[in-house]
Amino acid sequence: MEGVSSSPPTGSYSNGYHHDQNGGGTTQADHFKPRKSSHSGGRARRVPGGQHEIETPPCTDFDKAYFQSYSHVGIHEEMIKDRVRTETYRTAILQHRSHIEGKVVVDVGCGTGILSIFCAQAGAKRVYAVDASEIALQANEVVKANKLSDRVIVLHGRVEDVQIDEEVDVIISEWMGYMLLYESMLGSVIIARDRWLRPGGLILPSIAVLYMAPVTHPNRYAESVDFWRNVYGIDMSPILPLAKQCAFEEPSVETISGENVLTWPHVVKHVDCYTITVKELESVTASFKFQSMMRAPFHGFAFWFDVEFSGPANASAPSSVDQSIKTNPFVGHRRKRANPVDALVLSTAPEDPPTHWQQTMVYFYDPIDIEQDQIIDGSVTLTQSKENARFMNIHLEYSSGGRSFVKESVLR
């Protein structure tokens, strides 16, 4: 996502012990000490026409650091070079040209301005490119260099604070973080929607779905853990507990393949960008029940997401992602609009072409041996950290083979 926040370094591995509730495991120490933050100081904003007021949150020191991290061009270079991401957005804009041509667009978190320029090229009458990061200054120069200053207006500030004195027809944003909801940028899209989007307006993307599935990854475990059992003929196994903690205490962003996935995926959260509220994002809980398709060591859970670019007329219609997963969960991930009437889908699933989002892994310190057809059930809760709402607390409870476990981790 552009103009949003720093990302944890790809391949930074860590996680915690899973706790065997039957007394056979070890409890992970909680190294994350949240500090209660105040949400006072927000201001009320009135949408065009004075229909209702929007309460906007204050800009915290965490927010300022987040915006500052997006001033570095390297982050934007990585995202733009993600061809799956960038070309899907461009295709979506062209696909919805009839909704954009001659219309007013807001680009939330515009970064370098590339999506704003795509919209202008598609015939938008006016594009408000909003970004709180200093990269907005560069975006303005890019707009000038492409002779689009008469149609693309760069606004340097939070979407919660900038002023746009008209309703808009389209909101576009690349707001998705690791594990979909990390970084909490979706809240800014919701505020933009409630402040400016006219009834019947278009939001791109319109639907997002977060998935999870159990995974096996022996190579990853061997690289990070088994390595220490014999190092140049030296027994370094005393280091194993520390090696496991350093490797698996926190979530890891990395690329896996479909071969690592033990079961069909489960939907953790379905997001309808036309109706979702900020309150809904504070805590997400889902129960799951998986049936393993193979005998293998169960090393942890993987999370990934799809987003769908459907028009306003389809906002209340069933999502093509939802429909496909009912019959064959992975079909929905592979599908990229084979039929012109289908909505365009951008997927970060393990069996699809890789993106900079990769997949988010929550590993256990020690794997669980799973038999074919064995059931894995439990629940997952994702909550915004009280210390910094852009961080995500992950609480997993799961059972299999007569044993129950708890795993807690923080994506930060």
Query: Tens digit of pLDDT per residue, the chain (412 long)?
Result: 444 333 333 333 333 334 444 444 433 333 322 322 333 334 445 444 544 466 777 777 667 666 676 767 888 899 999 999 999 999 999 999 999 999 999 999 999 999 999 999 999 999 999 999 999 999 999 999 999 999 999 999 999 999 999 999 999 999 999 999 998 899 999 999 999 999 999 999 999 999 999 999 999 999 999 999 999 999 999 999 999 999 999 999 999 999 999 999 999 999 999 999 999 999 999 999 999 999 999 999 999 999 999 987 444 455 555 554 444 444 434 344 445 557 899 999 999 999 999 999 999 999 999 999 999 999 999 999 888 888 999 999 999 999 999 999 999 8
Cβ atoms < 10 Å from Cβ of 102: 11
Helices (H), 38-82: 61-69, 73-81
- The C-alpha atoms of residue 364 and residue 371 are separated, in whole angstroms, by 18
- The C-alpha atoms of residue 411 and residue 391 are separated, in whole angstroms, by 6
How many residues are there in the chain?
412
- The C-alpha atoms of residue 147 and residue 268 are separated, in whole angstroms, by 44
Give the pLDDT of residue 320: 54
- The C-alpha atoms of residue 109 and residue 175 are separated, in whole angstroms, by 7
Give the pLDDT of residue 339: 53
- φ and ψ at residue 214, rounded to 5 degrees: -70, 145
Give the pLDDT of residue 27: 34
Residues tagged active-site: 174, 183
What does DSSP assign to residue 226? G
- φ and ψ at residue 269, rounded to 5 degrees: -150, 130
Handedness of CA 197, 198, 202, 206 (dihedral sign): positive
What does DSSP assign to residue 282? S
Handedness of CA 39, 40, 46, 50 (dihedral sign): positive
Give the pLDDT of residue 99: 97
**What is the pTM assigned to this prediction?**
0.83
